[in-house]
Amino acid sequence: MADTADTSFQVITPDFVNVIVTNSKEGNNANCIPKRYPKGITIADLKGKLELLTGGNAATMSIVVYTKEDTLLCTLDNDSALLGSYPIEDGMRLHVIDKFVLRNEFEEASNAERFQLSEEEYAKRTDTLKHYLEQNRLGKYSEEEMRKREEERLKEEAADEAVLSVAKVGNRCEVKVPQTPTRRGTVMFIGPVDFKPGTWIGVKYDEPKGKNDGSVNGKRYFEYPPKYGGFVRPMHITIRDFPEETFDFEEDEM
């Protein structure tokens, strides 16, 4: 049978990655299983291996990736892609979510007594994410990593302050968010918001390349048509008299 893997995805070195595997049936922090997988494996093949490991169903499972700090990073959502095409590093966690498991747990929740560990009992277990991170000095248990994270935080704060010191409503700007196309627009809002901590800048984009209409979770900060609005960390914005972007209709025509 011919190999149907999508060869447009490239493996990022090194060739193997050491991860922790958890699943939705046991919860995020129970039965953490350290595993080593080749980055050249497809997500479909990985699901097959995780099916044997977790008891989930490869046809229905979803795999989400958490960083060493246990924050959500991404979802392995392309079965033809290679594991190495995703930004996965040693010590990260692959959490297997099985839709049937989630459904059954929800249906049985009213009749089942939930099992919970006290903090003291949880700290004594050796099969948990906390224990794995402690033993391998990863995430918040690594002094070097915590130092780097603090340096990065201070660097980002300084970059935010530099932009906020010159930004004003009505300024033209250019937005460069990592892994997102560069966009131009006009500053419409500067200040705190309800959905995230810190000071954010609301931008009305020249083209409908945004995420909202100037409102988030029912609260309006400025008003523009859908997809023309967006909120951005100041560090990702350059304030300058940029010319307005326009549609290239001839190029877009089929």
Q: Is the pLDDT of residue 24 over 70?
A: yes
* Pairwise CA distance, residues 94 & 64, whole Å: 6
Burial bucket for residue 26 (CB in 10 Å: 0-12, 13-18, 19+): middle
Predicted local distance difference test score (pLDDT) of residue 120:
73
pTM for the predicted model, two decimal places:
0.47
pLDDT class of 254 with cuts at 50, 70, 90: very low
CATH number (3.30.70.100, 3.40.50.300, 3.10.20.90, 2.90.10.10) of 16-141 reads: 3.10.20.90
Coil, helix or strand for 74? strand
In sequence order, the β-bridge partners of residue 82 are 42
Check residues 68 and 199 and name the one with the higher pLDDT: 199
Q: Which CATH superfamily is domain 166-249 in?
A: CAP Gly-rich-like domain (2.30.30.190)
In sequence order, the β-bridge partners of residue 62 are 97
Q: List the domain boundaries for the chain.
A: 16-141, 166-249
